[in-house]
Amino acid sequence: KAGVTQTPRYLIKTRGQQVTLSCSPISGHRSVSWYQQTPGQGLQFLFEYFSETQRNKGNFPGRFSGRQFSNSRSEMNVSTLELGDSALYLCASSIDGTAEAFFGQGTRLTVV
């Protein structure tokens, strides 16, 4: 059974640019969540999608957005990148958002 797949694994972007990250959940999982992980703040919740609808959003600025497609795959977008956006971005999938969540390997974003 394939796990959660995130692409790309690594990204280097310049301040002011935008970036799109992709996540393919485990087959049959309809809930996809996104988290930002930094050494100082740990794992922080960005947003959660279920059946193409955003159900929860964390305390991040509007530059962070996401969407989910009909096949449950999800993307997140960060516009006008800042140095502080450098982090490991993790995607997690769950059957319905209340059961255990399984994480992908993450996308390491570096903003220079």
Partner 1 sequence: EDQVTQSPEALRLQEGESSSLNCSYTVSGLRGLFWYRQDPGKGPEFLFTLYSAGEEKEKERLKATLTKKESFLHITAPKPEDSATYLCAVQGSGGSNYKLTFGKGTLLTVNP
Measured from the CB of residue 104, what is the shortest distance to partner 1 in angstroms? Answer: 5
As a whole number of angstroms, the distance between CA 12 and CA 96 comes to 33
* Cis preceding linkage at 39, omega within 30: no
Choice between 17 and 68, CB closer to partner 1 = 68
Choice between 15 and 99, CB closer to partner 1 = 99
Residue 50 has, within 13 A of its CA and on its CB side, a CA count of 10
What are the residues binding partner 1 (CB under 8 A)? Answer: 4, 6, 31, 33, 35, 42-45, 48, 50, 55-56, 58, 90, 92, 97-106, 108
Measured from the CB of residue 36, what is the shortest distance to partner 1 in angstroms? Answer: 11
Token code pair at residue 80 = 């006008």
